[in-house]
Amino acid sequence: MLRFLLLLPLLLLIVLFVVSNTTAVELRLWPTGWSLEAPLALCMLGAMAIAFLLGALFTWFPALAARRRARRAEARAAGLDQEVAALKARLSDRPTLLPPAG
C-alpha cells in the first residue's frame, strides 16, 4: 500500500504530461530517410524508457562478475563446511589418548 501511495504522484505527473503534450512531431533517422510521426509525449516517454533500460544494462553487466564470484565463494564455503564436519566426525570416532597422570 505504501508503494502505491509513493507512486501515485509520479503516475499523476506522467498522466498530466501525456495529456498536455499531444502535439504530433516527426522523428527522422537521417541517413535512412526513415521517419515517424507520433505525439510528443509518446516520444519523450519512449526516450526515457530507452534511457532507463540502457542505464539498467550498464549497471547490471558489471555486477555479473561480482555475482559469479559470490556464488563461487558460497559454494567453496559450503564445501569447506562439509569438509570440516567430516574431519570432526573422523576425530570423534577415534579413541582419545590421555596423557599419563603424574
Query: Quick check: is 102 in a domain?
Result: no
pLDDT, position 83: 96
pLDDT given at position 55: 94
Helix, coil or strand: residue 37: strand
**What is the span of the domain harbouring residue 77?**
2-92
On the question of pLDDT at 95 being above 70, the answer is no
Which residues, in sequence order, are CB contacts of 44 under 8 Å at separation 6+?
A: 17, 21
In a domain, 40, yes or no: yes
The CA-atom distances, in angstroms, between 88 and each of 48, 52, 83 are: 58, 52, 9
Structural domain contains residue 11: yes
Query: Exposed, middle or buried: residue 35 (CB in 10 Å: 0-12, 13-18, 19+)?
Result: exposed
**Which of helix, strand or coil describes residue 38?**
strand
Asked if residue 99 belongs to a domain, the reply is no
In a domain, 98, yes or no: no
Domain count for the chain, please give it. Answer: 1
* pTM for the predicted model, two decimal places: 0.59
Whether 37 maps to a domain, the answer reads yes
Averaged pLDDT score across all residues of the chain: 89
In angstroms, the CA 59 to CA 65 distance is 12
At 10-32, the pLDDT tens digits run 889 988 988 888 899 998 988 89
76 is a domain residue = yes
